[in-house]
Amino acid sequence: MSAPIPDLPVLAEDDSMLSRRFGREVANYFSGSPLNRVSFLRTDYGFLASAFAHASASFLLVDQNLSPLARDPANLAWVGTDDVAPLTGPAPFARSEKEQVAAYNSEVARPLILFLGLDGTGDTSKTGTGAGGFEYRGYKGSPFFAVDVTPKGSLADAANSVVERAKAKGFTFLPGARHVNLNAPEAAIYAQARALLDWNARNPYCGACSHATMSVNAGTKRVCPPTDWAGVTVVGDGSSEPKAEPRARPDCPTRHGVSNLSFPRTDPTVIMAIVSADGARLLLGRQRRFPPGWYSTLAGFLEPGESIEEAVRRETWEESGVAVGRVVLHSSQPWPYPANLMIGAVGQALPGGETIDLGHDQELEAARWFPLDEVREALLTGVSGLGEPAPAGYKEGGLRLPPQTAIANRLIDAVCSGYLSAVPKI
Amino acid sequence: MSAPIPDLPVLAEDDSMLSRRFGREVANYFSGSPLNRVSFLRTDYGFLASAFAHASASFLLVDQNLSPLARDPANLAWVGTDDVAPLTGPAPFARSEKEQVAAYNSEVARPLILFLGLDGTGDTSKTGTGAGGFEYRGYKGSPFFAVDVTPKGSLADAANSVVERAKAKGFTFLPGARHVNLNAPEAAIYAQARALLDWNARNPYCGACSHATMSVNAGTKRVCPPTDWAGVTVVGDGSSEPKAEPRARPDCPTRHGVSNLSFPRTDPTVIMAIVSADGARLLLGRQRRFPPGWYSTLAGFLEPGESIEEAVRRETWEESGVAVGRVVLHSSQPWPYPANLMIGAVGQALPGGETIDLGHDQELEAARWFPLDEVREALLTGVSGLGEPAPAGYKEGGLRLPPQTAIANRLIDAVCSGYLSAVPKI
């Protein structure tokens, strides 16, 4: 229906009969990372240490506003181990999780270094430093990291020096509330880095016991250490090894078994293209902050003890008064502002349930049923970024829609392109 | 394929042509709540107060182990306002969120009362106290609540008296790690209550600033109050109104704008039926704790900056070594142990990517490709609860599978029932 986004990940068709029956998976912007996260290696500090030190390691710098270092608005900038060492030190992964926890001192600031993954494409020419040759236990691919360069506490000078060194190469931190102009593979890498850095920054304390937590496993876990060396003075009398014990902290529930509080949070969000009972019209709504003529699909947070399908029905009714029957899941999109998982669905209004009522939660300024022909026209002439002018060919007063980087656009496009017709989806 | 679960929610077919084309939405156990959450009324304390006090209000008691009060293993027990009043007081929603925050005293224990929703079925004979007649601003339906009866601090005696009163009616708290024998509509209500009570219990402190938080909006939000009356003595000299100010607490990021830390956490989890490239076999795995012969679908937590489809591919490869191509979303299931959203998907292995390798994350004891015919046989003869004996007709050595209350079973059933064939899914 509408033009593809450059470099948007599309799974290759393959030749199996079954696959041709499947149809194509929809891949949304901020997904499609070229990295293999090898999540099981994050606890292997031998791996982390050798990946960090390797000549092919690529580091993304992210500042206190969560802006990434970039060459230009479409491309991230990558630096090497030497560039980050003034902040990270030469061997930040020398100690295991257990050793780090035992040495925990709440008064000592530690740099945050995320391990993102190994390049799984085999093509290092487009992303990263361009070097290759890393291998560990048979796992190959250039290692990718992100480093928080927020100038905090005793690390401020070191962080600033890393920033200055990067800027001297002509790179800048990419401002903006949404980074939707990045090429798609790097947007996916940035989404991972942003979500994890933000989670670490938002959660310095333990929700279960109130004490400060520490980041381990290359930024993917926060633990509540049982002891703290802060304020403990180690004094020896010369006759033997100096002895001291760290201060014990109160017991904490997160130290017993596995607690979700130790792991990153992702907020599931439903977003839905709702068609009328006869399938001929599409329900769209607008918020007050939207430009004139602009509409999008409805959306909202999923709640505890609720399926995606139920959340779609609840949110649609609460926002628009429309009663939805069947709901089918379409595709998903990570949205790292701050930690959303957008789950796209298509639903069908119940016969007799199409009357619009904005009086329930009063979140929308307007909601309307649009004939599919009008929506198809808008996909051709009314699509642009939220802050951007309408595209050429747009007629004043016409419907405007979100860009292709938003899953809303992909859902609308799917409905207009025959998703509801009797074509198999799998 | 296999027998339906009694009362499992099934969306009614309706008569529109489009709906007949859609096929049927899959509804999983723990979804399908009969309640309308009217989430926008949780901030309306006039609503909460009148719903709480109404004769038709139904209260589910939940103890410190998150066990619900029940009549028997299949049915929850419901009590009325008078039954909970010794713990909650007669008017726990008399003060607005703003007033409660201004009056916050960290030394005063407050009972936790969840508002769950209004009965949306119009049929009060099966669930709840059976009374009707509640209406507020045009919203009708008996109000449903849950009350935490953990005997904590100064509330211990009152909580115990509420428990004794309920037990005197012949009700008991339903033990068990999983409550999968409840009738489906009440299982969904319990899932909502359990997830929210557990979230409140897990998060007494603010992850952003370390200070104690308070529950507002009937258990659906936790705020970090800017002041605290704890330890403040109000003394008057008799000549005028006594004057005092609460103690100010440090600034907290959650007080600026909207923070996800103030709202319940749900952890998205992927669970997937992976078929071979030719569609003739199904990939299943087993953990060490499973009984002999027992297999299930693979599953794992979704990570930050990852789509559902990517998480399916990553987890399948990490657990089994199998490379997956296309992924299509199937259905979802709330799983309140403690806060998972199970997102079911069907994926297809890439040609040449079917070799099993358990050496990556080493989570599974075994993974195997099963011919669909063998899986179909197991759906008929090998399905039971995890701790239960194999059903009649099971032949020693045969494949055993999870019960119909698990989305794993529904995914396996879908693949065996022709989900992959060219039948339209919507």
Task: Tell me the pLDDT band of B19, cut-offs 50, 70 and 90.
Answer: very low
Q: Specify the 3-state DSSP secondary structure of A260.
A: helix
Question: Using CB atoms, which residue from A33, A39, A193 is nearest to B318?
Answer: A39
Q: State the average pLDDT for chain A.
A: 89
**Which one of B332, B335, B337 would you mutate to disrupt binding with A, by most A Cβ within 10 Å of its Cβ?**
B332
Q: By mean pLDDT, which of A47-56, A229-238, B295-304, B331-340 is the weakest? A: A229-238
Residue A77 at interface with chain B, using a CB cutoff of 8 Å: no
| Whole-number pLDDT of residue A422 | 44
Shortest distance, CA A41 to any CA of chain B (angstroms): 8
User: Pseudo-torsion of CA A258, A259, A264, A269, nearest 10°?
Assistant: 120
For residue A128, the 8-state DSSP code is S
Cβ within 8 Å, pair B18-A330:
no
CA distance A81 to chain B (A): 24
User: What are the two backbone dihedrals, phi and then psi, of residue B109, each rounded to the nearest 5 degrees?
Assistant: -75, 140
B205 in contact with chain A, both atoms CB, cutoff 8 A: yes
Nearest to A346 among B21, B318, B426 (CB): B426
Q: Which residues contact A326 (CB under 8 A, 6 or more apart)?
A: A347, A348, B11, B19, B22, B24, B25, B426
Q: Are B11 and A336 a contacting pair at CB < 8 A?
A: no
Chain A contact for B125 (CB, 8 A cutoff): no
Question: Per the CB < 8 Å rule, is A264 touching B304?
Answer: yes
Residue B321's nearest CA partner among B347, B350, B357 is B357
Closest CA to A330 of A388, A235, A417: A417
pLDDT value of residue B205: 98
Answer whether A27 touches B (CB < 8 Å).
yes
Is the distance from CB of B345 to CB of B328 less than 8 angstroms? yes
Q: What is the DSSP string of A58-105?
A: EEEEE-TT-PBEEEETTEE--B-HHHHHHHH-S-TTSS-HHHHHHT--
Calculate ∠ Cα B405-B409-B415, nearest 5°: 145
**Contact between B424 and A426 using a beta-carbon 8 Å cutoff:** no
Give the model's pLDDT for residue B191: 98
Which residues, 6+ apart, have CB-to-CB distance to A245 below 8 Å?
A: A227, A232
B6 at interface of A, judged by CB pairs closer than 8 A: no
Which chain A residue has the Cα nearest residue B196?
A: A304
For the segment A332-363, what is each residue's pLDDT rounded down to a tens digit? Answer: 999 999 999 999 999 999 989 999 999 999 99
Interface with chain B: mutation pick from A333, A341, A419, highest number of B CBs within 10 Å: A341
| Cβ contact, residue pair B426, A211, below 8 Å | no
Q: Which helix (H) or strand (E) element contains residue A113? A: strand A113-119
Question: Any idea which residue has 């602009």 for tokens?
Answer: A294
The predicted-structure confidence for A282-297, as pLDDT tens digits, reads as follows 999 999 999 999 999 9
* Torsions phi, psi for B416 (to 5 deg): -70, -20
> How far apart are the CA of A320 and the nearest CA of chain B, in angstroms?
13
DSSP state, residue A268: E
Q: What span, in angstroms and rounded, lies between the C-alpha atoms of A90 and B183?
A: 59
- Predicted confidence at residue B21, as pLDDT, reads 39
Least confident of A271-285, B1-15, B393-407: B1-15
Banded model confidence at residue B13, pLDDT cuts 50, 70, 90? very low
pLDDT at B201 over 80: yes
Three-class DSSP labels, chain B = CCCCCCCCCCCCCCCCHHHHHHCCCCCCCCCCCCEECCHHHCCCHHHHHHHHHCCCCEEEEECCCCCEEEEECCEECCECHHHHHHHHCCCCCCCCHHHHHHCCCCCCCCCCEEEEEEECCCCCCCCCCCCCCCEECCEECCEEEEEECCCCHHHHHHHHHHHHHHHCCCCEECCCCCCCCCCHHHHHHHHHHHHHHHHHHHCCECCCCCCECEEECCCCEEECCCEECCCCCCCCCCCCCCCCCCEECCCCHHHCCCCHHHCCCCEEEEEEEEECCCCCEEEEEECCCCCCCECECEEEECCCCCCHHHHHHHHHHHHHCCCEEEEEEEEEEEECCCCEEEEEEEEEECCCCCCCCCCCCCCCCEEEEEEHHHHHHHHHHCECCCCCCCCCCCCCCCCEECCCCCHHHHHHHHHHCCCCCCCCCC
Whether B200 contacts chain A with CB within 8 A = no
Q: Is A242 on the interface with B (CB under 8 A)?
A: no
Does residue B421 sit at the A interface (CB-CB below 8 Å)?
A: yes
Nearest CA in chain B to A278: B18
Averaged pLDDT, B296-306: 98
Inter-chain Cβ pairs, chain A and chain B, closer than 8 A? 298
Residues 6+ apart with CB under 8 A from B206: A205, A207, A210, B212, B213, B224, B252, B254, B261
Is B326 in the A-facing interface, judged by CB distances under 8 Å? Answer: yes
Asked if B304 reaches chain A (Cβ–Cβ under 8 Å), the answer is yes
Residue A131: other Cβ atoms inside 10 A = 14
Those of residues 356-385 in B touching chain A at CB distance below 8 A are: 360-362
Where does the pLDDT of residue A128 fall: very low under 50, low under 70, confident under 90, or very high at 90 and above? low
- State the pLDDT confidence band at B129, using cuts at 50, 70 and 90: low
pLDDT over 90 (residue A160): yes
Q: Which stretch of DSSP H or E encloses residue A147?
A: strand A143-148
Residue A198 CB: number of other CB atoms within 10 A? 20
By the 8 A CB rule, do A301 and A269 touch?
yes
- Report how far apart, in Å, the C-alpha atoms of A329 and of each of A208, A274, A319, A414, B346 are: 35, 12, 20, 12, 12
Lowest-confidence segment of B142-151, B229-238, B366-375 by average pLDDT? B229-238
DSSP string of A160-219, one letter each residue: HHHHHHHHTTT-EE---S--TTS-HHHHHHHHHHHHHHHHHHH-SB-TTT--B-EEETTT
What pLDDT, on a 0 to 100 scale, did the predictor assign at position A204? 97
pLDDT of B131: 61
| Spatial separation of the C-alpha atoms in residues A361 and A314, rounded to whole Å | 11
Q: Is the peptide bond before B264 cis (omega within 30 degrees of 0)?
A: no
CB-CB neighbors (< 8 A) of B361 in chain A: 39-40
* Percent of chain A residues topping a pLDDT of 70: 88
Instruction: Judge whether residue B80 has pLDDT over 50.
Output: yes
Structure tokens that stand for B380 in this block: 């008929």
A20 close to B (CB below 8 A): no
Taking residues B104-110, what's their average pLDDT? 95
- For β-strands B35-36 and B227-228, DSSP reports them as unpaired
Q: Name the residue facing B267 among A203, A260, A338 (closest C-beta).
A: A260
Highest mean pLDDT among A5-9, A128-132, A253-257: A253-257
Q: Does B212 touch chain A (CB under 8 A)?
A: yes
Average pLDDT for chain B = 89
Q: What is the predicted pLDDT for the residue at A417?
A: 86
φ/ψ of residue B266, rounded to 5: -130, 130
CB contact under 8 A, B305 and A32: no
Report yes or no: A280 and A416 within 8 Å, Cβ to Cβ. Answer: no
What's the pLDDT tens digit per position in A328-337? 899 999 999 9
Interchain pair A208, B209: CB under 8 A = no
Among candidates B19, B267, B329 on the partner chain, residue whose Cβ is nearest the Cβ of A348: B19
